Structure 1
Amino acid sequence: MPDEKSLLQCYNRGCGQKYDPDDNKEDSCRHHSGLPVFHDAYKGWGCCNKKCTDFTEFLNIKGCTLSKHSNIKPPEPEKPVASEINYTEVIEIKPIVPKSLERPSFHTPLGESKQVEKENNSDEINIGTPCKNGGCTVSYEGPKTNSTVCTYHPGVPIFHEGLKYWSCCQKKTTDFNTFINQIGCESGCHVWKKENTDNTIVQCRWDFHQTASHVVVAIYAKQYCPTLSVVKLNPIRLYTSLVFPEQSNAMFVLDIELRGIIKVEESQVSMFGTKVEIKLKKAEPGTWVKLGDPVVQSTNPDKKPMTVESLTPQVDAVDLDDL
């Protein structure tokens, strides 16, 4: 057994192991040859096109390339050189303000939006399931795994201005591989299945974007039940209620008085395994400066209160230029 001090740290992306330089074979290291990719809530690797929405699952994606271990850090990708802007050539574009439609009554009856696609999401725990605690690299291999110590980060990963670190221990680095290999700052028991401690309200991340003809709202949710969840619309209101049976029927409710007017009959909802996408057809051209305003409790059909904070779109704080 080699001395711990004689072991070298492998810096191949996705490996994170220490190795004996005298026992380094052509297939000793399983790693990713490509770069990490973060886009539209998905996280994956450019070399093997494996994607997921959970950061811990991303860290546990097995490498697709075999080679020798290497203690040489791979070069960081070069940042694109920003082109200089000639401010004398900037053209001011003013929005076209068309004649507005008469705004319908807020109390117009809500109708369920047409569903164009629905997928069921299974949640079986199998051998090989990675621990859900951030920074832990252990996978479930049977009941014996529960007796091992889980070393993890209780905080969340933060990517900001080129720095990568965990909110719990603030050990900042610019190197992605060094960040992945940071040892957890707390010890405890493994968690094989995420559970929500609040059995009433679930906080789901959501955002929206728009085109000339549509506003598209995306709600990112795991383990919700498509058959029990509903999306209802009237010309100026969006009401969404997602039900999570495995979390004691906890709910996520998004109830908004829309900024503009929509055509209910031409709007659609798609329910996928990890997100709900609501495509709202604009009734008149123009850009919405925001999605809308929260509906107060007294007008909520299911009597579920919503706060202004919960209606703020939540996005990943990831600086893609630095990855």
Structure 2
Amino acid sequence: MRTDSSPLSETKKCVNHGCGSTFTEGTNSDKACRYHPMAPIFHETIKRWPCCDSKSDDFDEFLRIAGCTVGFHRTKTNGTNLSQAQQPSSDCPLKSSDITSQSALPAATEAASAVSPSNTAARSSKPTFQNESSTAKQQVEIIEEPDDPLDAVIEPGAKCLHSFCSAVFSGDSSRTEPCVYHPGIAVFYEGSKYWSCCRPRAGEFEEFLKIPGCKTGRHKFLKSGAPTDPNFVECRRDYYQLGDQMCVCVYGKNMNPKSSSVTYCTQSVKIDIQFLNGKTYSAFIPLFSQIVPEACTHEWLPTKLEIKMKKCHPGPWTKLESEEPISTN
């Protein structure tokens, strides 16, 4: 029997930033790949694609930023060993109106299928990034939070907080099923990317995402100290800085602004949100530095609460929250 070994039917993996999908020569075309032509940049808490200046403080949201350029799939970086029909000059940037949020790196999903018992996507939902300049010469202390109580009230659809795991809570079986994750932090230093908790290193961002978790335990769906009120819901929160402003976003739908509030103090902010379905969310955030309460503003939008706090002293904050006790005055 003759086996078809035509190069046109051979399955290959695209290495364009933000793609990672598989393709064949027969399906490759100048519009087959949607990708980022430049490698991502991580600085402090901001993750950015420099080619289109799309950025996010949240790693999960960053991975969903769609590519800004369309062109041929590639099998090697720097334009070498391109597929037969590929012409790099035909690649063209997309208009900003054409860019929508999508799962940007499906290549990471394949790594998870080999290590995750529930075959969940292999990418971190909320990892912490740190430049090695502050950790390269000393061992990084790994502090793990306690497991969720087995009788804890967990909202269906809640995401696992462990790095490298994106499992969601689907019932009591999710409380005890194994979770493969990284307990450490992600470190990016001089082109090398690795997890502080294990040895494997990667030079490329996509390869870093494929480093399998080094520890097996239980999923963690609740932050430590989260209220046990059955009406309480966890809301995703992130932040970014704009000059003399520190901006915090709390994500959720159907918020009721009339019964919700945001209270500003000199070095803290308290958030109380009531939802139309009776659910609640509250958070007290001790801030890294002082703000000007009377100059702070917030806006209730359809899918989030956006808070803009005026910094008392100019200059960037290295983080949002203070680790020291803060007065509420």
Tell me the TM-score normalised to structure 2 length.
Answer: 0.46
Largest Rg, 1 or 2: 1
